[in-house]
Every structure is written in C-alpha cells, then in structure tokens.
Amino acid sequence: MPDNDQFEFNPSMLVNDPYPIYRALREASPVAYIDSLKSYVVTRYEDCTKILKDINFGKQRITLNTHDLEKQFLAVNGDKYPQTEEKSILTLDPPDHTRLRSLVSRAFTPRVIESLKPFVRTITSSIIEMNAVRQFDVISSIAAPVPAYVIAKMMGVPDSDRDNFKKMSDDVILSLDPSKGKEDLMKSIKAYYELASYFNRLIELKAKEPGDDLTSSLIKIRDTGGKLSHSELLSMCILLLVAGHETTTNLIGNGFYALLRHREQMDILKNDSSALKNGIEEMLRYESPVQMTSRSASENVFVGDIEINKGRRIITLLGSANRDPAANDDPDSFNVERKNIKHLSFSEGIHFCLGAPLARMEAEVVFDLLLLKYPDAKIAAEPKWKENITMRGLESLVIKP
C-alpha cells in the first residue's frame, strides 16, 4: 500500500469539531486509508457522489463490525430473543433491497407526509407550551420527543413506550460508529435484540387487532403473498423506528444550535418564513446529521488516483463532501440564503434516505414554531456533542428563552 494513501488520526477527535480534520484530508489525501477505521475514506463531493450512485459500490459485501460479537451474544442469549434478519435495507443490495424498500416507500409519499403535518404542529405546540420556563434543554424537550412521537404514531407504537424505545435506539446506533469498541458494540447488539423482542410482541398484538399504521400494513404483506418474512418484518420495524427519529432529532438540534451561533441568519428566518425551506437545506449541509456511510468495492477500482481492491470497505465522509469548496462556495460559512446548495446528508442513489421528506417537514414545522416562540433565545450552558462520529448530534442544548 503506497505511503501517500494513508492518513492517521484519532477518531475521537471528530466528535466536537470534525471539519478541520476533513479539510486536512481533502487537501492532503482525498482518498486515504485510515488504519484505525480499517477503511478507505473519501472526502470530496464529486468522489462521494460517484460512489453513492454507483451500484458497483455495494452494501451487502460489507463485513459488519458487530458480526463476530453478535455470534457471541446469540450463543449465550439466543434463546431469549426472536430471530431477525442480520441485514436490513440499509445493508442490502438489489434485488432484496429493491423488494424491501418498495414495501415501505408508500408510507413516505407526499400525500402521507402532508397528512401528518397537522399532527406534528399540534404536538410541537403542546411540547413548547409545556416548556415555557426560564431555561430548558432543546434536545430532551423538543428535538428528541417530536420525531419520536411522529414515528411512533406512524408505526402504531403506544406513546407510553416512547421513552423506552428512545433509550434502546440511542444504543442501537452505536454500531454505526466504526470507531466504537467491544463494550459499546455489545451494548448496541443487546439493544437491537431488545427492540426485536418489543416488536415481536407488538406484531402479535396487531396481527389480532390491526390498526391504521405502518406495522399493521407490513404484517398484512407478511401474511399475504410471501414478499416479507417474519424476521425481515422485525428488522424493518427496528430500522424504521431508529432511523425515523434519530436523524430528525439531530437535524433540529444541530440546526437550532447553528442559528443560535449565527444571529444574523436566525433573524433572516424570523423575518421571512418563506426562507425556511432553504434554511433547512443549509442546516443539513452545514452540520449533517449523518456524517458518513459505508460501501464495499465489487471489483478493483480507482477512486481518484488510488486503487482500491475488491471487497475493501470505503467510507464516504458526507460531512466533508458538504464542506467541499468545489461543491459550495465559502463552505465553512453558515448562510441560510445560500444558492444552489449541494449536500449529501441524505445520501444519494438507491440508498437515498427514504424518510427525507418526513424529516424536512418535521424540521420546517418545529423551526417555524421555535422561532415564533423563542425569537431571542440564548445558549445557557456549553452544549455537549454525542460520542458518535457517524450520527452527529447534540446530547444537550440548554437555552434561555
């Protein structure tokens, strides 16, 4: 392996402010092998877009960093939990990816998303009114609960179970961070199977008493036509629950933090609500809720000047691509009026985020109400970032109204 394709750093350095490291990578070695991540990382917008759109860079060939640990966990605990598919649409290639994605895509049509808007506004207004206090944490009070309530409603999960699944969800996403060690990965595996047990019980209940929700619809598909196995159904429910609110929570928290640090940009949105849609795209670009995603080369291939061998793991650094000056002028500035915003925060190609329209709608409603209710909000305590280099989000953001 040539010396010039290697670039080393401690992944924990990415938690608080990854962008200087991304910039150094882009400038010094835009395609580099990071030994601590056991992967090549790609940092430029053009290269990342090419990889994400090319079906020859697949998901299914990736060896998950939890694979051996999961075997160990099931060897001891397998009889306590239902069987699930090891992979979901996040880690599948066509034709299985196409089959499974088509089964849930109808739940995220423009008509369905628009029909949820009044519900999102009602619960957001209610939560905001309950937090009319001297200071509070935007993350635990608003950014986390609103998306959790929405995906719970869509899936037919009782509101009373929301806090339980939020904790399990936080643990599940630890496995998406390629820098995590054995302890965190085992925590993630356990949480995944706890969610599997929860959904197994919920599916049994809804099979007897179906409702007007996504879980009931998927059960019907399982029971008629053979397009969905029970283990695939469990994996799908877990994915939808976790992905359905984690990204949106990060979008709301990261976006509001960016506005609080750039008051002139906050003023633009306060004075012109029509600018909000574009402002949200800039929030997605500036502080992407998902910073990286992985692919695997199906054959020996050149990315830039570097040859990557078949089967090697490639991490596309979405957060870096969004800050590439070749894609966006003055990329380290936050500008809600930016024209022709280019970002990969929802990925690209066949794995483009299915829930992107839902996340955008929820963010638009929440920011509209936040800016109306807290026009002069100020940061009251030093914010804390979650210890996850893939899912970038704040653990706390305490404000004074």
Task: Tell me the per-residue pLDDT of 296-311, one tens digit each, with 9 for 90 and over.
Answer: 888 888 898 888 888 8
User: What proportion of the chain, given as a percentage, has pLDDT over 70?
Assistant: 95
User: Does 3 score more than 50 pLDDT?
Assistant: no
**Residue numbers of the domain that contains 130:** 3-400
The domain total for the chain is: 1
Section 107-134 average pLDDT: 89
pLDDT band at 164 (very low <50, low <70, confident <90, very high): confident
User: What proportion of the chain, given as a percentage, has pLDDT over 90?
Assistant: 56
Whether residue 177 contacts residue 393, with contact meaning beta carbons closer than 8 Å, is answered with no
Residue of 205, 96, 192 lying closest to 155 (CA atoms): 205
pLDDT at 379: 96
What is the spatial distance between Cα 139 and Cα 285, in angstroms, rounded to a whole number?
A: 20
Task: Tell me the per-residue pLDDT of 314-339, one tens digit each, with 9 for 90 and over.
Answer: 999 999 999 999 999 999 999 999 99
pLDDT at 146: 94
Between 207 and 5, the higher pLDDT residue = 207
Q: Highest-confidence range of 89-93, 106-110, 146-150, by mean pLDDT?
A: 146-150
Q: What is the pTM (predicted TM-score) of this model? A: 0.91
Whether residue 29 contacts residue 21, with contact meaning beta carbons closer than 8 Å, is answered with no
Section 207-227 average pLDDT: 90
pLDDT band at 1 (very low <50, low <70, confident <90, very high): very low
Q: What are phi and psi of 227, to 5 degrees?
A: -85, -10
User: Does 79 score more than 80 pLDDT?
Assistant: yes
User: Does 346 score more than 90 pLDDT?
Assistant: yes
pLDDT at 2: 38
pLDDT band at 15 (very low <50, low <70, confident <90, very high): very high
Look up residue 196 and give its two tokens: 């599997």
SS3 label, residue 17 = coil
Section 189-194 average pLDDT: 89
pLDDT at 206: 94
What is the spatial distance between Cα 178 and Cα 160, in angstroms, rounded to a whole number?
A: 33
- Supply the CATH number for residue 189's domain: 1.10.630.10
Task: Tell me the per-residue pLDDT of 245-262, one tens digit each, with 9 for 90 and over.
Answer: 899 999 999 999 999 999
Q: Between helices 96-104 and 230-261, what is the axis angle to 10°?
A: 70
Q: 204-213, 237-246, 279-288, 329-338 — which is least confidently predicted?
A: 237-246
The residue with tokens 């490291």 is 21
Residue of 136, 145, 132 lying closest to 366 (CA atoms): 145
Section 42-51 average pLDDT: 96
pLDDT band at 142 (very low <50, low <70, confident <90, very high): very high
pLDDT at 6: 60
Between 134 and 274, the higher pLDDT residue = 274
Between 161 and 394, the higher pLDDT residue = 394
pLDDT at 81: 85
CA neighbours closer than 13 Å in the CB half-sphere of residue 326: 13
